[in-house]
Structure 1
């Protein structure tokens, strides 16, 4: 059986995985889905100094504190930046990286480089009384919805999990280049049932899967997502 560490994206919390964790656990796997600094039950720790390095520290702390090895590390959305940074630090603890509809940075890039629209969110925040704080993006008409979620009950639940995001997390740059990290297997899972968006091609050697749903596929297609993740066990 495998060990999965599920890392949520920007604005979300560890509870966004609530529909996936029981499915993997019931199949005999060990699953951890922590909330990052400033999110979920840790929302009180949000501040302007929280950034990409903070989140990478959070994940490394789980890996080392729980003495985990052979981990399938899953990063959703912005967490593609986080799992890339974590792999640089502790590649020996990882069996596989999963970029779940995620940012895929190159060495020296930040989230703004990967998704330039992020600059618009930062510029909006700069005109407020708390320029370091970016609120969650608003719900849009279908099929965009709220992070690709359109069912009213699910939208309400996802909204209850969201918190603000510090500008620093989008501005900090990831440093890549560890050969051991580059050797960790990678899967890119694209959500293709929502709004079309430009994606970077997956690196050579990475496998690519698709799910016909919106961005927060752990909410809209948890059974299918869990089934794909188990292929990596």
Structure 2
């Protein structure tokens, strides 16, 4: 049995993994899909004091409280930052890092450094009432690559504003032990938004082994549009 810890991205909640969790569980694995502070059923906790560090605390706290080890730690989108800093703090508990169509940071980088388009969101949030809310975007191709009407209705029901601190606070990757953790990158290969550039994955991982990059022929929210195919890839790591 492996332990999968699935971390949702910006604006979402742990509910977005609802189609993946039972598939991994049915394969005999333990699965946790928490909602980060300020989203979903914790939306009342959202505010200007919530940021990346808050979410790293959420994940590290869950790992230590549940005494999890050899964790397959999956971060979607913005959560690439969360899992990176979390692994930096408890590398001995992480067996795999999975960047699911995610931001892949270097030490000291923020979301705005990795994805310059984020700066526009920060500027809008700072100018808005309260100065901290970043509302969910709706690109022309659909919401995060989701286009089916029923799926869109379900997705919209779980979305909430993103605290601006999540885009401003830097990742910490100053623990050499984090470099030994194997990484896998899963890219969503269709409906790629204009103005967003994905960083190329180096041919060799930081631990010296060849990089592992897989693709899914779907949009950004693959856990909603291709849960079975995503699960099949994740099971290769368990």
Q: TM-score, normalised by structure 1?
A: 0.96
Alpha-carbon distance, 1:40 to partner: 0.8
Alpha-carbon distance, 1:126 to partner: 2.4
Determine helix, strand or coil for the equivalent of 2:99: strand
Determine helix, strand or coil for the equivalent of 2:64: helix
Q: Counterparts of 1:108 and 1:127 in 2: how far apart (Å)?
A: 25
Which one of 167, 174, 193 corresponds to residue 171 of structure 2?
Answer: 174
2:190 equivalent to 1:185: no
Determine helix, strand or coil for the equivalent of 1:170: helix
Determine helix, strand or coil for the equivalent of 1:120: helix
Gapped regions of structure 2 (runs ≥ 5):
206-210
- Show the counterpart of 1:217: 222
- Show the counterpart of 1:64: 64
List per-residue Cα deviations over 1:33-82 (Å, max 9, x = no partner). Answer: 00000111111111100011100000001101111001000000000000
- Show the counterpart of 1:202: 201
- Show the counterpart of 2:11: 11
- Show the counterpart of 1:45: 45
Determine helix, strand or coil for the equivalent of 2:49: coil
- Show the counterpart of 2:32: 32
Q: Counterparts of 1:25 and 1:195 in 2: how far apart (Å)?
A: 30
Alpha-carbon distance, 1:86 to partner: 0.4
- Show the counterpart of 1:106: 106
2:157 equivalent to 1:160: yes
List per-residue Cα deviations over 1:79-102 (Å, max 9, x = no partner). Answer: 000000001000000100000000
Q: Counterparts of 1:127 and 1:61 in 2: how far apart (Å)?
A: 33
Q: Counterparts of 1:227 and 1:168 in 2: how far apart (Å)?
A: 34
2:115 equivalent to 1:115: yes
Q: Counterparts of 1:106 and 1:128 in 2: how far apart (Å)?
A: 30
Q: TM-score, normalised by structure 2?
A: 0.94
Determine helix, strand or coil for the equivalent of 1:223: helix
2:151 equivalent to 1:146: no
Q: How many residues align?
A: 230
Q: Counterparts of 1:177 and 1:53 in 2: how far apart (Å)?
A: 15
Q: Counterparts of 2:125 and 2:60 in 1: how far apart (Å)?
A: 29
Determine helix, strand or coil for the equivalent of 1:145: coil
List per-residue Cα deviations over 1:207-233 (Å, max 9, x = no partner). Answer: 100000000000000000000000001
Alpha-carbon distance, 1:193 to partner: 1.5
Alpha-carbon distance, 1:147 to partner: 0.6
RMSD: 1.0
Determine helix, strand or coil for the equivalent of 2:186: strand
Q: Counterparts of 2:128 and 2:90 in 1: how far apart (Å)?
A: 38
Determine helix, strand or coil for the equivalent of 1:4: strand
